[in-house]
Amino acid sequence: MISGRGRGKIRPPRRGLGGNADSSDFDAMWDILRSALREIHEKNASKLSFEQLYRASYKIVLKKQGDKLYDRVKEYEEQWFGSQVMPAIRKLITNNLINTTVGGGVAGTTANERRITGEEFLKGLKASWEDHNTVMNMTTDVLMYMDRVYCADNRKPSIFTTAMGLFRDHILRSRLVSADSELTTFDILNSVILDQIYMERGGDVINRHLIRSCVYMLEGLYETDEENEHEKLYLTVFEIEFLKASRIFYQNESANLLREADASTWLRQTKRRFAEEEARCQTTISLLTAPKIARVLEDTMIREHLQDFLAMEGSGIKAMIENDRYADLTLLYQHISRVDPSKEPLKNALQTRVVDLGSEINKTILNTDFSAAPEPQPEEGEAAAEGNEKPKATKLSAAARQTAAAIKWVDLVLQLKDKFDNMWKKCFDEDLILQTALTKSFSDFINLFPRCSEYVSLFIDDNLKRGIKGKTETEIDEVLDKATMLLRYIQDKDMFERYYKKHLARRLLHDKSESADVEKQMISRMKLEIGNSFTNKLEGMFKDMAMSDDLTAAYRTHISNLGDIDLKQIDLGARILTSNYWPMESMGGGATIGEDGNRQTCTWPSEIQALQDSFKAFYLRERNGRMLTWLGFLGSADIRCIFPKIPGKEGVLGRERRHEINVPTYGMVVLLLFNDLADGEYLSFEEIQQRTNIPQQNLIHILHTLAVLPKCRVLRKHPANKDPPKPGDKFCFNESFTSKSVKIKAPVISGSVNKVEGEEERKDTEDRNDEHRGNVIDTVIVRIMKARKVFSHQQLFAEVISQLSQRFKPDLSMMKRRVESLIEREYLERVEDANTPTYRYLA
């Protein structure tokens, strides 16, 4: 039929012949194709000539009989399924298998048996699928021309697609003859695969490859012949079942874990399951499922019981934090971040822990504080050791112990912070949300502690005084970092400033500071952290110190230039303090304020007065209009004392002894009185007070130092006992004083050592701070109102709080009082008949 046609010259197109084609032509060619299909199915394709078959289908299509060919092929495949493939598969579907599907695991069949029958079935199904696939590929090749021309023109699915659909309809969706139920091969396939996966989850080894092949099959088949990507049978049927089964499985598992295991096991098991399912998606089923099964796991294994596991006694989050179980915490963090990007549960748990632990610290320290005072013995060793005091110092005063406690508190807080920081770095992937949460909770509990500002300042003081001795720069940096960090947490920055100023003043005036460099570093850090206004005065204090040094030097040159004036060789080192910068009251000057509010000066000995006048003259020469006030309660003096030999005594007492005694300024004033006194004469307390005009409290302190404490007892007190001096006591020069060292530093009772404030002192500080705050609030309110003119109550308060947040958290009632007082003073007035309470600024 074909070969007969002449070629070689141009002919009219052959398509014109289509109409003339008779059916015998078609039948003949269909016969060729049909036998070829049979051969292909029976894997005898090598006998066939592709060209011949291709030509046959080409002819048929050219003759417009593509539809017929299409239908015939389809029909042929259907028959083939019915007669050859299905029976083979039916044979594989045993009763056991059906029972597995229907009953979900039947008694009487061991897992092993079940696995083997399941595998048989899967193998059979896989084989027939693979056969079908090869055959259909070949068929499609042969019928390529039909696909290309007929199917494309008539919008029919390609023959391959159709054939795949046939497989789906005739094999997978065929009802089972033996069962009267709705069961199809597909159901069995599903349940067999699920059963196998179930066994694998239980620890059995299964043929993953086989399942993978079957899953491939499902992935290659679609709900309809349109082959919509979302309608893969895998997605529409299998995956749903799979996820359902998995959900049940994992619900059971997590319930079991909750009942029988601890949180640690749970974390590990969950991690393992995640990995397993991930691997399963890669090796056994499809990657498409990976995110979905992960979600199921998240739901069942993590979300549902998270709180229960976190709360577990002995292994929950509390124990994890307590025992630094970093591995567990890392896992926990990973799991939680899976289910909740804000990590709410972890965040809350951490915050609670931080606040709990922090409050514990607060409580212990407060207890040490108060229990130590009345009963020094039991607590002493501990407090002393913690505060790095000499352990043998049994006579630590209560105040010193409290100072130690303060430093201990800071240390504990820092330890806690370190612990959580460490955890944060190691386990929480440096998560920002958690960091914020941690910071917040730290800030919370630190601010809960009423003395935080004071303690932090004391801690810095301690470190600057001696803590940094012999440390490398990096170590110092570390300490400063820590201090700055604590400072960041403190809410009442003004309170801190107050304490810091006080402590700094002491350090500077008594030369206690270890390194001026480090001091300056600390200040610049605070500047960075809080701002210029905060460190302004602190810097001023440093400037004063530097100025004073220059001034002293200049004064010395000045004196030596004068040459002839002999001031009994009194050497003056003056410290000029700008009164605004320095916290006079808290430096011990409180007692010198007289009732009329003026500073009461002591009566200086004549030698000293001459010196003062000379210096004053020198100072005012270059600076007009300044006031110099001499502060007796500050400063110190070196006094050279000569103790005469005592007749009739051997040894030390038999010789003349010279000592240089360093005493506070008041001490000097007192001692100079005794210069003019004859041997054996007494001065009474009242006499001394009257002649020196030193405030009583300071006088008691200084006399205590000089007449009671053994280290520097250059005066003798009558009656001789260890009680602090009081009015009515009498004092005389102690000519039999001895000491091993030439230079003696008189121990100072108060003033030069920074320590925790007593209750009264503290109240005092707070009152002063409140007063200061009141002024600050006034200023802020006036500034705001000046800009706004009219402003509602609520807005005003919000604005004030936000402006002050850098320095402290203002108290609402205080703010109200300030507003009231401003109204009284006619800075503000209330706006009548406004809807909300509103104020107006009065210019």
Partner 1 sequence: MATSNEGGLSKYVTLVSSDGFEFVVLREAACKSGAIKRMLDPKSSFAESTTGRCTFEEINGIVLEKVAEYFYYSYKNRNQEDVPDMDIPPELCLELLMAADFLDT
**Residues at the site binding partner 1, with contacts judged by CB under 8 A:** 2-3, 5, 7-11, 13-14, 45-55, 58, 134, 137-138, 141, 144-145, 148
Closest CA to 354 of 453, 423, 452: 423
Is 61 or 416 the residue whose CB approaches partner 1 more closely? 61
Tell me the residue length of the chain.
843
The phi and psi torsions of 297 (rounded to 5 degrees) equal -60, -45
The phi and psi torsions of 222 (rounded to 5 degrees) equal -125, 165
Is 48 or 485 the residue whose CB approaches partner 1 more closely? 48
Q: In the complex, what is the shortest distance from the CB of residue 239 to partner 1, in angstroms, rounded to a whole number?
A: 30
Max CA pair span of the chain: 161
- Indicate the residue type of 500: Y
Within 13 Å, how many C-alpha atoms sit on residue 90's CB side? 14
Q: In the complex, what is the shortest distance from the CB of residue 107 to partner 1, in angstroms, rounded to a whole number?
A: 47
Q: In the complex, what is the shortest distance from the CB of residue 123 to partner 1, in angstroms, rounded to a whole number?
A: 22
- The two beta strands, 657-664 and 743-745, are parallel
Q: In the complex, what is the shortest distance from the CB of residue 122 to partner 1, in angstroms, rounded to a whole number?
A: 24
- Indicate the residue type of 259: R
What 3-state DSSP class applies to 496? helix
Measure the CA–CA gap between 288 and 53, rounded to whole angstroms.
40
Q: In the complex, what is the shortest distance from the CB of residue 67 to partner 1, in angstroms, rounded to a whole number?
A: 20
What 3-state DSSP class applies to 199? helix
The phi and psi torsions of 94 (rounded to 5 degrees) equal -85, 170
Enumerate the β-bridge partners of residue 829: 840
Contact criterion met (CB below 8 Å) for 530 and 488: no
Is 45 or 179 the residue whose CB approaches partner 1 more closely? 45
Q: In the complex, what is the shortest distance from the CB of residue 84 to partner 1, in angstroms, rounded to a whole number?
A: 20
Is 134 or 821 the residue whose CB approaches partner 1 more closely? 134
Q: In the complex, what is the shortest distance from the CB of residue 221 to partner 1, in angstroms, rounded to a whole number?
A: 21
Closest CA to 501 of 579, 387, 445: 579
Measure the CA–CA gap between 315 and 559, rounded to whole angstroms.
77
Q: In the complex, what is the shortest distance from the CB of residue 285 to partner 1, in angstroms, rounded to a whole number?
A: 27
Q: In the complex, what is the shortest distance from the CB of residue 161 to partner 1, in angstroms, rounded to a whole number?
A: 17
Residue 1: how many other CB atoms lie within 10 Å = 9
Measure the CA–CA gap between 645 and 698, rounded to whole angstroms.
32
Is 40 or 522 the residue whose CB approaches partner 1 more closely? 40
Sheet holding 636-643, edge to edge: 636-643, 657-664, 743-745
Is 220 or 590 the residue whose CB approaches partner 1 more closely? 220
Q: In the complex, what is the shortest distance from the CB of residue 435 to partner 1, in angstroms, rounded to a whole number?
A: 56
Is 50 or 682 the residue whose CB approaches partner 1 more closely? 50
Q: In the complex, what is the shortest distance from the CB of residue 48 to partner 1, in angstroms, rounded to a whole number?
A: 6
Q: In the complex, what is the shortest distance from the CB of residue 234 to partner 1, in angstroms, rounded to a whole number?
A: 25
How far from each other are the two terminal CA atoms of the chain, in whole angstroms?
A: 116
Is 47 or 722 the residue whose CB approaches partner 1 more closely? 47
CA angle 308, 310, 314 (to 5 degrees): 100
Within 8 A by CB and 6+ apart from 803, the residues are 780, 784
Is 133 or 184 the residue whose CB approaches partner 1 more closely? 133
Is 10 or 432 the residue whose CB approaches partner 1 more closely? 10
Measure the CA–CA gap between 55 and 42, rounded to whole angstroms.
22
Q: In the complex, what is the shortest distance from the CB of residue 50 to partner 1, in angstroms, rounded to a whole number?
A: 4
Is 1 or 642 the residue whose CB approaches partner 1 more closely? 1
Contact criterion met (CB below 8 Å) for 407 and 419: no
Within 13 Å, how many C-alpha atoms sit on residue 820's CB side? 6
Measure the CA–CA gap between 360 and 92, rounded to whole angstroms.
70
Q: In the complex, what is the shortest distance from the CB of residue 12 to partner 1, in angstroms, rounded to a whole number?
A: 9
Residue 192 token pair: 């067999």
Is 61 or 509 the residue whose CB approaches partner 1 more closely? 61
Q: In the complex, what is the shortest distance from the CB of residue 137 to partner 1, in angstroms, rounded to a whole number?
A: 6
Is 148 or 789 the residue whose CB approaches partner 1 more closely? 148
Measure the CA–CA gap between 459 and 756, rounded to whole angstroms.
11
Rg (CA), the chain: 48
Measure the CA–CA gap between 184 and 171, rounded to whole angstroms.
9
Q: In the complex, what is the shortest distance from the CB of residue 27 to partner 1, in angstroms, rounded to a whole number?
A: 20
Q: In the complex, what is the shortest distance from the CB of residue 230 to partner 1, in angstroms, rounded to a whole number?
A: 30
Contact criterion met (CB below 8 Å) for 702 and 692: no
| C-alpha separations of 481 from 460, 491, 518, 762 in Å | 11, 18, 12, 27
Is 148 or 623 the residue whose CB approaches partner 1 more closely? 148
Measure the CA–CA gap between 180 and 670, rounded to whole angstroms.
119
> Helices 239-260 and 290-297, interaxial angle, to 10°?
30
Is 11 or 520 the residue whose CB approaches partner 1 more closely? 11
Is 13 or 341 the residue whose CB approaches partner 1 more closely? 13
Q: In the complex, what is the shortest distance from the CB of residue 166 to partner 1, in angstroms, rounded to a whole number?
A: 19
Is 31 or 204 the residue whose CB approaches partner 1 more closely? 31
Residue 334 token pair: 């990973």
Contact criterion met (CB below 8 Å) for 836 and 794: yes
Is 52 or 536 the residue whose CB approaches partner 1 more closely? 52
Residue 789: how many other CB atoms lie within 10 Å = 11
Measure the CA–CA gap between 45 and 675, rounded to whole angstroms.
134
Closest CA to 634 of 672, 580, 590, 675: 590
Within 8 A by CB and 6+ apart from 819, the residues are 781, 796, 828, 839
